[in-house]
Amino acid sequence: MKNRWITGLAFFRYLTFGKVLNFLLLKSSFHLSQIVQRPIIWGKPTTLSIEPTTSCNLRCPECPSGLRSFSRPTGMLQEALYEKVIDQVKGHLTWLHLYFQGEPFLNPRFLEMVTYADHKHIFTSTSTNAHYLGENQVDAILKSGLKQLIVSMDGITQEVYEQYRIGGSLNKVQEGLRRLLSERKKTGQQFPRIVLQFLVTGQNEHQLPALKSWAKALEVDELQLKTTQIYDFENGSELIPSNLGYSRYIPDGIGKWKLKKQLENKCWRMWQGAVVTWDGKVVPCCFDKDARHVMGELGEQSLTSIWNSLPYFNFRKQLLADRTQIEICRNCTE
Protein backbone atom coordinates (compact mmCIF):
# COMPACT_ATOMS: atom_id res chain seq x y z
CA MET A 1 0.00 0.00 0.00
CA LYS A 2 2.85 2.41 0.86
CA ASN A 3 4.40 1.87 -2.57
CA ARG A 4 1.17 2.76 -4.35
CA TRP A 5 0.91 5.94 -2.27
CA ILE A 6 4.38 6.96 -3.45
CA THR A 7 3.38 6.42 -7.08
CA GLY A 8 0.08 8.21 -6.53
CA LEU A 9 1.77 11.17 -4.91
CA ALA A 10 4.15 11.55 -7.85
CA PHE A 11 1.18 11.39 -10.22
CA PHE A 12 -0.79 14.05 -8.31
CA ARG A 13 2.20 16.39 -8.19
CA TYR A 14 2.05 16.66 -11.97
CA LEU A 15 -1.65 17.50 -12.04
CA THR A 16 -2.93 20.99 -12.78
CA PHE A 17 -6.38 22.53 -12.60
CA GLY A 18 -6.61 22.26 -16.40
CA LYS A 19 -5.72 18.57 -16.40
CA VAL A 20 -8.27 17.76 -13.69
CA LEU A 21 -10.98 19.76 -15.45
CA ASN A 22 -10.22 17.98 -18.71
CA PHE A 23 -10.52 14.59 -16.99
CA LEU A 24 -13.88 15.54 -15.45
CA LEU A 25 -15.16 16.69 -18.84
CA LEU A 26 -14.13 13.40 -20.42
CA LYS A 27 -15.73 11.35 -17.66
CA SER A 28 -18.97 13.33 -17.84
CA SER A 29 -19.22 13.05 -21.59
CA PHE A 30 -18.49 9.30 -21.39
CA HIS A 31 -21.45 8.72 -19.08
CA LEU A 32 -23.72 11.06 -21.06
CA SER A 33 -22.82 9.22 -24.28
CA GLN A 34 -24.11 5.98 -22.79
CA ILE A 35 -27.40 7.63 -21.85
CA VAL A 36 -28.08 9.26 -25.22
CA GLN A 37 -26.41 6.43 -27.21
CA ARG A 38 -24.40 8.91 -29.22
CA PRO A 39 -20.70 9.78 -28.84
CA ILE A 40 -20.07 13.07 -27.08
CA ILE A 41 -16.51 14.23 -26.38
CA TRP A 42 -15.94 17.23 -24.11
CA GLY A 43 -12.23 16.93 -23.48
CA LYS A 44 -8.88 15.88 -24.90
CA PRO A 45 -6.94 12.65 -24.21
CA THR A 46 -5.87 12.37 -20.58
CA THR A 47 -3.65 9.34 -21.22
CA LEU A 48 -1.54 8.35 -24.19
CA SER A 49 0.55 5.35 -25.20
CA ILE A 50 3.36 6.12 -27.63
CA GLU A 51 5.37 3.38 -29.29
CA PRO A 52 9.17 3.85 -29.21
CA THR A 53 9.72 0.90 -31.57
CA THR A 54 8.20 -2.30 -32.89
CA SER A 55 11.55 -4.11 -32.66
CA CYS A 56 12.04 -6.74 -29.98
CA ASN A 57 14.84 -9.05 -28.88
CA LEU A 58 12.46 -11.84 -27.82
CA ARG A 59 9.97 -14.07 -29.63
CA CYS A 60 6.99 -14.39 -27.32
CA PRO A 61 4.27 -16.58 -28.90
CA GLU A 62 1.26 -14.31 -28.29
CA CYS A 63 2.91 -11.09 -29.40
CA PRO A 64 3.15 -9.75 -32.98
CA SER A 65 6.56 -8.23 -32.20
CA GLY A 66 7.83 -11.59 -31.00
CA LEU A 67 6.22 -13.47 -33.88
CA ARG A 68 7.49 -10.89 -36.41
CA SER A 69 3.97 -11.01 -37.80
CA PHE A 70 3.06 -7.33 -38.23
CA SER A 71 1.30 -6.33 -41.41
CA ARG A 72 2.22 -2.72 -40.63
CA PRO A 73 5.76 -1.35 -41.06
CA THR A 74 8.34 -1.79 -38.32
CA GLY A 75 10.65 0.98 -37.21
CA MET A 76 11.80 3.49 -34.60
CA LEU A 77 9.99 6.55 -33.28
CA GLN A 78 11.83 9.73 -34.27
CA GLU A 79 12.40 12.54 -31.77
CA ALA A 80 10.94 15.29 -33.97
CA LEU A 81 7.58 13.53 -34.25
CA TYR A 82 7.60 12.59 -30.58
CA GLU A 83 8.38 16.11 -29.35
CA LYS A 84 5.72 17.52 -31.64
CA VAL A 85 3.13 15.26 -29.99
CA ILE A 86 4.30 16.01 -26.43
CA ASP A 87 4.16 19.75 -27.07
CA GLN A 88 0.56 19.36 -28.26
CA VAL A 89 -0.63 17.34 -25.23
CA LYS A 90 1.37 18.74 -22.31
CA GLY A 91 -1.50 20.89 -21.08
CA HIS A 92 -4.02 18.07 -20.67
CA LEU A 93 -2.10 14.77 -20.53
CA THR A 94 -1.87 13.16 -17.08
CA TRP A 95 -0.16 9.84 -17.96
CA LEU A 96 2.20 8.83 -20.74
CA HIS A 97 2.99 5.16 -21.28
CA LEU A 98 6.00 4.94 -23.57
CA TYR A 99 5.17 1.51 -24.86
CA PHE A 100 2.86 -0.25 -27.29
CA GLN A 101 4.66 -3.07 -29.08
CA GLY A 102 8.35 -3.93 -29.10
CA GLU A 103 11.09 -3.35 -26.52
CA PRO A 104 11.42 0.39 -25.74
CA PHE A 105 15.09 0.25 -24.76
CA LEU A 106 16.01 -0.75 -28.31
CA ASN A 107 15.28 2.83 -29.34
CA PRO A 108 18.62 4.60 -28.68
CA ARG A 109 16.86 7.89 -27.82
CA PHE A 110 14.27 6.30 -25.53
CA LEU A 111 15.43 7.75 -22.19
CA GLU A 112 15.89 11.18 -23.72
CA MET A 113 12.22 10.96 -24.74
CA VAL A 114 11.31 10.10 -21.14
CA THR A 115 13.19 13.14 -19.89
CA TYR A 116 11.53 15.42 -22.45
CA ALA A 117 8.06 14.43 -21.20
CA ASP A 118 9.09 14.62 -17.55
CA HIS A 119 10.34 18.18 -18.06
CA LYS A 120 6.87 18.99 -19.41
CA HIS A 121 5.40 17.69 -16.11
CA ILE A 122 3.89 14.54 -17.58
CA PHE A 123 3.93 11.33 -15.51
CA THR A 124 5.87 8.69 -17.46
CA SER A 125 5.85 4.90 -17.40
CA THR A 126 7.07 2.11 -19.64
CA SER A 127 7.13 -1.69 -19.97
CA THR A 128 10.23 -3.76 -20.62
CA ASN A 129 11.51 -7.32 -20.75
CA ALA A 130 14.48 -6.02 -18.71
CA HIS A 131 17.31 -7.34 -20.88
CA TYR A 132 18.85 -3.87 -21.12
CA LEU A 133 19.51 -2.94 -17.49
CA GLY A 134 23.30 -2.77 -17.57
CA GLU A 135 25.27 -0.28 -15.48
CA ASN A 136 25.11 2.54 -18.02
CA GLN A 137 21.41 2.06 -18.65
CA VAL A 138 20.60 1.94 -14.93
CA ASP A 139 22.41 5.21 -14.34
CA ALA A 140 20.57 6.83 -17.24
CA ILE A 141 17.20 5.46 -16.06
CA LEU A 142 17.67 6.96 -12.60
CA LYS A 143 18.48 10.36 -14.14
CA SER A 144 15.70 10.28 -16.76
CA GLY A 145 12.72 11.19 -14.60
CA LEU A 146 10.92 7.91 -15.39
CA LYS A 147 8.29 7.32 -12.72
CA GLN A 148 7.21 3.71 -13.33
CA LEU A 149 9.02 0.74 -14.85
CA ILE A 150 6.93 -2.38 -15.52
CA VAL A 151 9.12 -5.47 -15.85
CA SER A 152 7.71 -8.59 -17.51
CA MET A 153 9.05 -11.79 -15.95
CA ASP A 154 6.89 -14.84 -16.53
CA GLY A 155 8.84 -17.57 -14.76
CA ILE A 156 11.09 -18.05 -11.74
CA THR A 157 13.34 -20.65 -13.40
CA GLN A 158 14.97 -20.42 -16.83
CA GLU A 159 13.21 -23.56 -18.02
CA VAL A 160 9.76 -22.11 -17.36
CA TYR A 161 10.63 -18.51 -18.21
CA GLU A 162 11.85 -19.33 -21.72
CA GLN A 163 8.70 -21.26 -22.59
CA TYR A 164 6.95 -17.91 -23.09
CA ARG A 165 9.84 -15.40 -23.22
CA ILE A 166 11.51 -17.27 -26.05
CA GLY A 167 15.13 -16.23 -26.48
CA GLY A 168 15.26 -14.55 -23.09
CA SER A 169 17.65 -14.96 -20.16
CA LEU A 170 16.05 -15.01 -16.72
CA ASN A 171 19.44 -14.48 -15.08
CA LYS A 172 19.97 -11.30 -17.10
CA VAL A 173 16.54 -10.01 -16.08
CA GLN A 174 17.07 -10.75 -12.40
CA GLU A 175 20.58 -9.28 -12.32
CA GLY A 176 19.34 -6.14 -14.04
CA LEU A 177 16.53 -5.75 -11.53
CA ARG A 178 18.92 -6.20 -8.61
CA ARG A 179 21.28 -3.63 -10.10
CA LEU A 180 18.53 -1.06 -10.64
CA LEU A 181 17.02 -1.48 -7.17
CA SER A 182 20.44 -1.41 -5.54
CA GLU A 183 21.52 1.76 -7.33
CA ARG A 184 18.20 3.44 -6.65
CA LYS A 185 18.64 2.71 -2.95
CA LYS A 186 22.26 3.96 -2.94
CA THR A 187 21.28 7.26 -4.51
CA GLY A 188 18.32 7.71 -2.17
CA GLN A 189 15.86 7.93 -5.03
CA GLN A 190 12.30 6.62 -5.05
CA PHE A 191 11.80 6.45 -8.82
CA PRO A 192 11.20 4.72 -11.04
CA ARG A 193 8.82 2.53 -9.05
CA ILE A 194 9.39 -1.07 -10.10
CA VAL A 195 6.33 -3.14 -10.96
CA LEU A 196 7.11 -6.82 -11.52
CA GLN A 197 4.49 -8.17 -13.90
CA PHE A 198 3.85 -11.91 -14.19
CA LEU A 199 1.62 -13.29 -16.94
CA VAL A 200 0.00 -16.31 -15.31
CA THR A 201 -0.18 -19.28 -17.69
CA GLY A 202 -0.72 -23.00 -17.48
CA GLN A 203 3.05 -23.35 -17.77
CA ASN A 204 4.03 -21.17 -14.82
CA GLU A 205 1.12 -21.01 -12.37
CA HIS A 206 2.78 -23.57 -10.11
CA GLN A 207 5.61 -21.08 -9.52
CA LEU A 208 3.46 -18.36 -7.95
CA PRO A 209 4.52 -19.10 -4.33
CA ALA A 210 8.22 -19.01 -5.28
CA LEU A 211 7.66 -15.83 -7.32
CA LYS A 212 6.03 -14.03 -4.41
CA SER A 213 8.90 -15.00 -2.09
CA TRP A 214 11.51 -13.85 -4.62
CA ALA A 215 9.76 -10.52 -5.25
CA LYS A 216 9.47 -9.87 -1.52
CA ALA A 217 13.13 -10.67 -0.91
CA LEU A 218 14.20 -8.39 -3.76
CA GLU A 219 11.89 -5.64 -2.47
CA VAL A 220 10.24 -4.75 -5.75
CA ASP A 221 7.63 -2.06 -5.24
CA GLU A 222 4.69 -4.01 -6.60
CA LEU A 223 3.91 -7.47 -7.97
CA GLN A 224 1.15 -7.72 -10.56
CA LEU A 225 -0.33 -11.06 -11.58
CA LYS A 226 -1.78 -10.54 -15.04
CA THR A 227 -4.03 -12.67 -17.22
CA THR A 228 -2.67 -13.65 -20.63
CA GLN A 229 -4.28 -12.60 -23.89
CA ILE A 230 -4.57 -15.56 -26.28
CA TYR A 231 -5.50 -14.96 -29.90
CA ASP A 232 -7.25 -18.25 -30.76
CA PHE A 233 -8.70 -18.87 -27.32
CA GLU A 234 -11.89 -20.55 -28.57
CA ASN A 235 -10.12 -23.89 -29.02
CA GLY A 236 -8.25 -23.67 -25.74
CA SER A 237 -4.50 -23.36 -25.15
CA GLU A 238 -1.81 -24.68 -22.84
CA LEU A 239 -1.35 -21.06 -21.83
CA ILE A 240 -4.76 -21.01 -20.09
CA PRO A 241 -4.09 -21.69 -16.39
CA SER A 242 -6.02 -24.37 -14.52
CA ASN A 243 -6.86 -21.77 -11.88
CA LEU A 244 -9.43 -19.82 -13.88
CA GLY A 245 -9.15 -16.95 -11.43
CA TYR A 246 -6.03 -16.04 -13.44
CA SER A 247 -7.70 -16.58 -16.83
CA ARG A 248 -9.57 -14.26 -19.18
CA TYR A 249 -11.39 -17.32 -20.54
CA ILE A 250 -13.71 -20.02 -19.26
CA PRO A 251 -15.22 -23.17 -20.83
CA ASP A 252 -18.47 -22.49 -22.67
CA GLY A 253 -19.95 -25.90 -21.81
CA ILE A 254 -19.90 -27.27 -25.36
CA GLY A 255 -16.20 -27.95 -25.80
CA LYS A 256 -15.03 -24.43 -26.58
CA TRP A 257 -13.78 -21.44 -24.59
CA LYS A 258 -15.27 -17.97 -24.22
CA LEU A 259 -14.43 -14.65 -22.60
CA LYS A 260 -15.06 -14.67 -18.87
CA LYS A 261 -16.50 -11.17 -18.97
CA GLN A 262 -19.43 -10.40 -21.23
CA LEU A 263 -18.80 -7.54 -23.63
CA GLU A 264 -20.77 -4.41 -22.83
CA ASN A 265 -21.45 -1.64 -25.31
CA LYS A 266 -19.22 0.85 -23.58
CA CYS A 267 -15.47 1.42 -23.15
CA TRP A 268 -13.90 4.17 -21.07
CA ARG A 269 -10.66 3.75 -23.01
CA MET A 270 -12.25 5.36 -26.07
CA TRP A 271 -12.86 8.53 -24.07
CA GLN A 272 -9.76 8.36 -21.88
CA GLY A 273 -6.90 8.18 -24.36
CA ALA A 274 -5.34 6.80 -27.51
CA VAL A 275 -2.30 4.98 -28.88
CA VAL A 276 0.33 6.44 -31.22
CA THR A 277 2.44 4.09 -33.34
CA TRP A 278 6.12 4.73 -34.01
CA ASP A 279 5.28 6.32 -37.38
CA GLY A 280 2.57 8.64 -36.07
CA LYS A 281 -0.63 6.72 -36.69
CA VAL A 282 -3.33 7.18 -34.04
CA VAL A 283 -5.27 4.03 -33.15
CA PRO A 284 -8.03 3.68 -30.55
CA CYS A 285 -6.42 1.31 -28.06
CA CYS A 286 -3.64 -1.16 -27.30
CA PHE A 287 -5.70 -4.11 -28.60
CA ASP A 288 -5.27 -2.77 -32.13
CA LYS A 289 -1.74 -4.14 -32.34
CA ASP A 290 -1.64 -4.19 -36.14
CA ALA A 291 -3.10 -0.67 -36.47
CA ARG A 292 -6.14 -1.75 -38.48
CA HIS A 293 -8.28 1.12 -37.15
CA VAL A 294 -6.26 4.22 -37.98
CA MET A 295 -8.09 7.35 -36.84
CA GLY A 296 -5.55 9.72 -38.38
CA GLU A 297 -1.86 10.44 -38.87
CA LEU A 298 0.06 12.97 -36.78
CA GLY A 299 2.31 13.85 -39.68
CA GLU A 300 -0.72 15.42 -41.35
CA GLN A 301 -3.12 16.37 -38.51
CA SER A 302 -3.03 17.54 -34.91
CA LEU A 303 -3.99 15.05 -32.21
CA THR A 304 -6.97 17.23 -31.25
CA SER A 305 -8.36 17.20 -34.79
CA ILE A 306 -7.95 13.42 -34.97
CA TRP A 307 -9.54 12.99 -31.53
CA ASN A 308 -12.64 14.85 -32.72
CA SER A 309 -12.65 13.47 -36.27
CA LEU A 310 -15.43 11.63 -38.10
CA PRO A 311 -13.57 8.27 -38.08
CA TYR A 312 -13.24 8.46 -34.28
CA PHE A 313 -16.90 9.48 -33.95
CA ASN A 314 -18.02 6.53 -36.06
CA PHE A 315 -15.80 4.12 -34.14
CA ARG A 316 -17.24 5.24 -30.79
CA LYS A 317 -20.73 5.15 -32.29
CA GLN A 318 -20.30 1.51 -33.36
CA LEU A 319 -18.94 0.67 -29.91
CA LEU A 320 -22.02 2.12 -28.22
CA ALA A 321 -24.37 0.33 -30.65
CA ASP A 322 -22.80 -3.16 -30.82
CA ARG A 323 -19.27 -3.70 -29.66
CA THR A 324 -19.18 -7.31 -30.82
CA GLN A 325 -18.95 -6.05 -34.42
CA ILE A 326 -15.51 -4.57 -33.74
CA GLU A 327 -12.89 -7.29 -34.14
CA ILE A 328 -10.33 -5.90 -31.67
CA CYS A 329 -13.04 -5.76 -28.98
CA ARG A 330 -13.81 -9.47 -29.13
CA ASN A 331 -10.80 -10.46 -27.06
CA CYS A 332 -10.89 -7.52 -24.66
CA THR A 333 -11.29 -7.52 -20.89
CA GLU A 334 -12.30 -3.84 -20.58
Which tens digits make up the pLDDT trace of 130-188? 999 998 999 999 999 999 999 999 899 999 999 888 898 999 999 999 999 999 999 99
pLDDT, mean over the chain: 92
SS3 at position 227: strand
324-328: average pLDDT: 85
| Confidence band for 1, pLDDT divided at 50, 70 and 90 | very low
Q: Are 249 and 257 in contact (CB under 8 A)?
A: yes
Question: Containing H/E element for 212?
Answer: helix 208-218
User: 4-8 long-range CB contacts below 8 Å, 24 or more apart?
Assistant: 4/222, 6/190, 6/193, 6/221, 7/147, 7/148, 7/193, 7/221
End-to-end CA distance of the chain: 24
Closest residue by Cα to residue 46 from 6, 12, 95, 83: 95
Share of the chain above pLDDT 90, in %: 72
Say whether the peptide bond before residue 192 is cis (omega within 30 degrees of 0). yes
Stated pTM of the model: 0.92
Residue type, 226: K
List, for residues 12-54, the tens digit of each pLDDT value.
999 999 999 999 999 999 999 999 999 999 999 999 999 999 9
Q: What is the CA radius of gyration of the chain?
A: 20
- Cα torsion angle, 99, 105, 110, 114, sign: positive
Cα gap 52→309, rounded to integer Å:
25
List, for residues 256-276, the tens digit of each pLDDT value.
888 888 888 999 999 999 999
SS3 at position 31: helix
Q: How many CA atoms lie within 13 A of 28 on its CB side?
A: 9
Residue type, 189: Q
